[in-house]
A = this chain, B = another copy of it.
Amino acid sequence: MELHPVPDLPEIEPGDDLAAMIAERAAIEPGDVVTVASTVVSKAQGRTADLADFPAGPRAVELAERFEALTGEEKDPRLAQAVLEESTEIIVETPFMLTETCFGHTCVNAGIDRSNVPGHDLLLLPKRPADRAAEIRAGLLERADRLDAEAADRIETTGSDGDVPDAIDEVGVVVTDTCGRPFRHGQRGVALGWTGMPASRDWRGETDRDGRELGVTVQAIVDELASAANLVTGEGDDGTPAVVVRDFDFGDHAGGDSLFRSVEKDQVRQALREWSYE
């Protein structure tokens, strides 16, 4: 398996055609997976914002005050307001805002980025990242010489109401982000939206050399691809936000398309909902 950063992408502006910009700079082949950092997807979608766009309501003011009382650190209530507006649930309010975004991703501060935003204060996560992945895939299929343009008709979208291909259907696209996690320090790449491929590889019912059912049952390959890509993308000045993953062999397995745990089945989230930091 090989990972090739897409070279020389310029600073992305609202309305930029990411598929065209990637296809100009990388020779995409059948079976490739293209990862695209959510930062550039957001910029193309015009998701920059300023703190002044989020005048703080009473709940944001109260959250910022509680945060300051608990930690002694300042928190801008307008940032709390932005987080509230970008979230469908605030799972933990303090000492950090753990949120669910409207597309099901659980992260701190609704994934709002305060770096990498020339001329603005904030970069919000993309809206409907799976749809953005599908647009990029359609654009790549249309423009890349070696890809079969007709594959665009085979999958319109992914997610719970879309089709799940059995493997990579001509080309897969994953919109990625980086975020932290419980139990372990540091951030790692994760998938926010994907298309043209399953989210996971399902080993259930398969057996080991000794005929026993395998311990690993569902492998979150889009997250693993996002993590792998994050090793070569870098950040900041020399960041290369798109990566072509070549020769990833999905193999002969079932595919799954569910990545975000449902509220009812996420016991850790239930525990966090009931918890109060003091």
Contact = CB atoms under 8 A, between A and B. Distances in A.
B227 A188 contact: yes
A208 interface: yes
Nearest to A186: B220
Contacts of A269: 182-183
Question: Assembly of this chain: how many copies?
Answer: 2
A261 interface: yes
A88 interface: no
Interface in A182-219: 182-190, 199-200, 203, 206-210, 212-219
Given A209-B237, A224-B230, A232-B1, A268 B182 contact: yes
A96 B187 CA distance: 26
Given A271-B271, A274-B275, A235 B208 contact: yes
Contacts of A188: 219-220, 223-224, 227
A86 B248 CA distance: 35
A209 B258 contact: no
A207 B237 CA distance: 7
B181 A213 contact: no
A154 interface: no
Interface stretch (A110-118, A125-133, A162-170): A110-118
A199 to B, nearest CB: 7
Contact of A231 (B221, B261, B271): B221
A190 B249 CA distance: 20
A72 interface: no
Contact of A203 (B236, B266, B274): B236
A92 B267 CA distance: 10
A81 interface: no
A155 interface: no
Contacts of A209: 11, 116, 118, 236-237
B274 A223 contact: no
Contact of A266 (B106, B183, B220, B267): B183
A206 B223 CA distance: 26
A7 interface: no
Q: Which 7 pairs show the lowest CB-CB distances between chains A and B?
A: A186-B220, A271-B275, A228-B228, A182-B268, A106-B183, A227-B227, A224-B227
Interface of A: 1-3, 11, 92, 95-96, 106, 113-119, 178, 181-190, 199-200, 203, 206-210, 212-221, 223-225, 227-228, 230-232, 234-237, 248-249, 251, 256, 258-261, 266-272, 274-275, 277
